[in-house]
């Protein structure tokens, strides 16, 4: 019989706070672990580089990590591995987010003078060993968090492989969120560029109750691709006998309503919020600015274990498509900032008639002589193509 997982809570506070996590002989004292990780980035024994003045001018002086700091650091890392391996799956979402925050604190404390590959920068003598163990530690935690994903998602930011293409960076990163959630969750928790380093097209919207989400450059490319395909479909539909309008009229209306980069526009969301969309790019000098390499990451196909991104590029390359690029150039990391807030009048939500959206696609079900609409035919063809590629048979689900 499996050993039961026991979590001891303090019920004198709301919500109840966990005191201890117990699994057999393995016991985690949350209070002690929380305090240790909160104080870890400020540990007096952390290694650091200081700029000192000498008779010959200024120079860099290294203070190596002392043994007490290293012992505390790896104790904290071991406690985090224990939690994510044994207790995270049984914990509440709130407490999972707290432990992910503590993991962020561990990574902050791990930013040390360990850049051994930079010959002009002093580094600790244990730098290579430390970074090797830290990489293994973070990979292990990521593996136990998402054991069923193939390929595994990245829920933890790790140090870039020095042999890989270093031309891209997420910028900031919050543990526990996938790359898209870093930007799309409320107020973009993984987007850490300071407001002063953001260049907005229309200025910052900072009224009370305003939240922001940021669409990264990859998201803009997806939107642009869908828009171009939709425009081509609208033009094709206008040329058929089903349309009573000219192609020029259809495309003119389409262009009025489609999403376009380089323009500011607003709308009322289905939740009744006033929403403003505008172009923004982070200043190049900010260390937290996301970056993407120009062109293709592996144009010759030499990488033996490519990422999904490199696989996607190779598919596009063999289809004859160009490398992704922003219409205004890739010198800056172009983004959208989506600002949402409740209406000004008493912050009351606007009434949205959801019924008018319930049948918005009904007219697309145009039956042919066999009684089968083009939507059904398209989905059937898609399922057959997926089967030929060996995709899961879950795609056999009936069309609602």
**What value does the CA radius of gyration of the chain take, rounded to a whole number of Å?**
27
| Distance, CA of 268 to CA of 357 (rounded, Å) | 14
What 3-state DSSP class applies to 40? Answer: helix
| 335-341/274-282 β-pairing | antiparallel
Percent of the chain residues past pLDDT 70, beyond the cut? 73
The closest alpha carbon to 217, from 153, 282, 157, 173, belongs to 282
The closest alpha carbon to 157, from 189, 194, 118, 187, belongs to 189
CB 344, CB 210: distance < 8 Å: no
For 34, 98, 103, 190, the CA distances from 155, given in Å and listed in that order, are 21, 15, 11, 11
Q: Number of helices (H) and strands (E) in the chain: give both, helices first.
A: 10, 10
For 345, 349, 350, the CA distances from 353, given in Å and listed in that order, are 19, 12, 10
DSSP character string of 232-283 = HHHHHHHTSTT-SS-HHHHHHHHHHHS--TT--EEEE-TTS-EEEEEEEEE-
169 phi/psi in degrees, rounded to 5: -155, 140
- Residue 170 has a CB neighbour count (10 Å cut-off) of 18
pLDDT-derived band at 157, boundaries 50, 70, 90: low
User: Which of these ranges, 1-5, 126-130, 244-248, 396-400, has the smallest mean pLDDT?
Assistant: 396-400
* pLDDT value of position 15: 80
| Distance, CA of 81 to CA of 28 (rounded, Å) | 11
User: Which of these ranges, 127-136, 154-163, 214-223, 273-282, has the smallest mean pLDDT?
Assistant: 154-163
User: Which of these ranges, 94-98, 217-221, 312-316, 369-373, has the smallest mean pLDDT?
Assistant: 369-373
pLDDT tens figures, 80-89: 999 998 888 8
pLDDT tens figures, 140-151: 888 877 655 444
pLDDT tens figures, 24-58: 888 999 999 999 999 999 999 888 888 777 777 77
CA 393 to chain centre: 29
* pLDDT value of position 317: 80
The closest alpha carbon to 269, from 138, 184, 357, 183, belongs to 357
Q: Using the predicted structure, report yes or no on whether residue 387 has a pLDDT greater than 80.
A: no
pTM: 0.62
Q: Using the predicted structure, report yes or no on whether residue 119 has a pLDDT greater than 70.
A: yes
């Amino acid at each position: 019989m499996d050993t039961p997982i026991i979590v001891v809570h303090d019920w004198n506070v709301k919500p109840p706070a966990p005191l201890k996590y117990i699994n057999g002989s393995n016991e985690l004292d949350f209070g002690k672990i929380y305090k240790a990780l909160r104080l870890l980035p400020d540990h007096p024994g952390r290694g650091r580089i200081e700029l000192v003045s000498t008779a010959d001018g200024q120079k860099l002086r290294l203070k190596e990590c002392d043994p007490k700091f290293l012992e505390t650091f790896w104790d904290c890392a071991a406690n985090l591995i224990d939690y994510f391996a044994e207790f995270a799956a049984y914990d509440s979402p709130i407490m999972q987010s707290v432990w992910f925050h503590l993991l962020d604190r561990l990574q902050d404390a791990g930013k040390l003078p360990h850049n051994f590959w930079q010959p002009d920068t002093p580094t600790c003598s244990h730098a290579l060993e430390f970074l090797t163990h830290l990489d293994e530690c973070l990979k292990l935690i990521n593996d136990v968090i998402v054991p069923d994903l193939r390929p595994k998602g990245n829920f933890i930011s790790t140090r870039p492989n020095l042999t890989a293409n270093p031309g891209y960076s997420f910028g900031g990163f919050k543990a526990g969120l996938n790359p898209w959630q870093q930007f799309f969750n409320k107020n973009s928790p993984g987007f850490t560029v300071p407001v002063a380093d953001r260049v907005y097209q229309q200025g910052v919207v900072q009224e009370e109750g305003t939240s922001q989400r940021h669409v990264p450059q990859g998201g803009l490319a997806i939107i642009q691709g869908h828009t171009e395909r939709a425009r081509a479909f609208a033009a094709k539909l206008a040329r058929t006998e089903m349309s009573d309008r000219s192609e020029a009229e259809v495309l003119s209306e389409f262009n009025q309503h489609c999403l376009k980069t380089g323009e500011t526009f607003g709308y009322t969301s289905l939740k009744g919020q006033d929403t403003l969309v505008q172009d923004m790019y982070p200043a190049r000098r900010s260390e937290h600015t996301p970056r993407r390499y120009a062109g293709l990451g592996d144009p010759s196909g030499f990488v033996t274990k490519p990422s999904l991104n490199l696989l996607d590029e190779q598919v596009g390359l063999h289809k004859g498509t160009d490398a992704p690029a922003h219409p205004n150039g890739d010198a800056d990391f172009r983004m959208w900032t989506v600002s949402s807030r409740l209406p000004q009048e008493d912050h009351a939500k606007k009434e949205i008639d959801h019924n008018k959206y319930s049948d918005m696609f009904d007219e697309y079900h145009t039956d042919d002589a066999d009684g089968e609409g083009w939507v059904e035919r398209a989905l059937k063809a898609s399922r057959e193509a997926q089967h030929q590629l060996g995709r899961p048979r879950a795609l056999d689900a009936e069309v609602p």
